[in-house]
Amino acid sequence: MVQHLSADDNNQYPQSKSDKGLNNQRESNYPIDTEQVSESNYVTERQETINWLLLNKYPPIPVAPAQDPYKYHHLSKDQKTGVKSCPLTNDIKPVPLYTGKNPSYLSSGGKPHLLNHRKYQNQLPTEQECNKWFANPLNGIGTLGGWNDTYWLDLDNKQFARASECDRAFNTHHSVSSLGMNAANLAGVQVGY
């Protein structure tokens, strides 16, 4: 199981800066590109999380943003006939290959790749693997449960009537946490203890 330590569930299909068009250009006269600063802050925070995970002997696992299921979809192969088909969701859309939740990464050029995380159930990734996985600033980060007798608690805002209730639950569990690691995002918080 991959536990996500940072992700923005509200960003369904990320766009590159060139895809955003003229509608998102800044109207202020400030010379600072706030989008670039925000991306830089995220990358810095993500790297701090990677460093913390490695220091504490947890595998950092990349999580690519959700991709368009019409472009990248799951294929199933019929065992008897060998014919490949694309399964559909209940709302008649292709089952996505990159959900924004599964172990995967975007290359530095933006091409998505799935990651077989089983290898990292018993060993940490190499520095070269981490550099490859996290070369693209859009990639999120997760880790695997079951390491070092650690349990991860995932508190999602959508499971609470109000975000303040999620915060209260986090503060209750965080006070008993011995790890000191938590990650907050718009969708909720994760705590390890």
64 located within any domain = no
Number of folded domains in the chain?
Answer: 1
DSSP calls for the chain = -EEEEE--TT-SS---GGGS-GGG---S--SS-HHHHHHHHHHHHHHHHHHHHHHTT---EEEPPP--TTTSB--EE-TTT--EE--B-TTS-BPBS--SSSSEEE-TTS-EEE--GGGGGSSPPPHHHHHHHTSSTT-EEEEETTSTT--EEEEEGGGSSSHHHHHHHHHHHHTT-SS--EEEETTEEEEE-
180 located within any domain = no
- pLDDT tens, residue order, the chain (193 aa): 444 444 343 334 443 333 333 233 333 333 444 455 477 888 999 999 999 899 989 999 999 999 999 999 988 898 899 999 888 989 999 999 999 989 999 999 999 999 999 999 889 999 999 999 999 999 999 888 777 777 777 777 788 888 888 888 877 765 544 444 444 444 555 555 4
166 located within any domain = no
93 located within any domain = yes
79 located within any domain = yes
113 located within any domain = no
What's the domain range around 78? 69-99
51 located within any domain = no
44 located within any domain = no
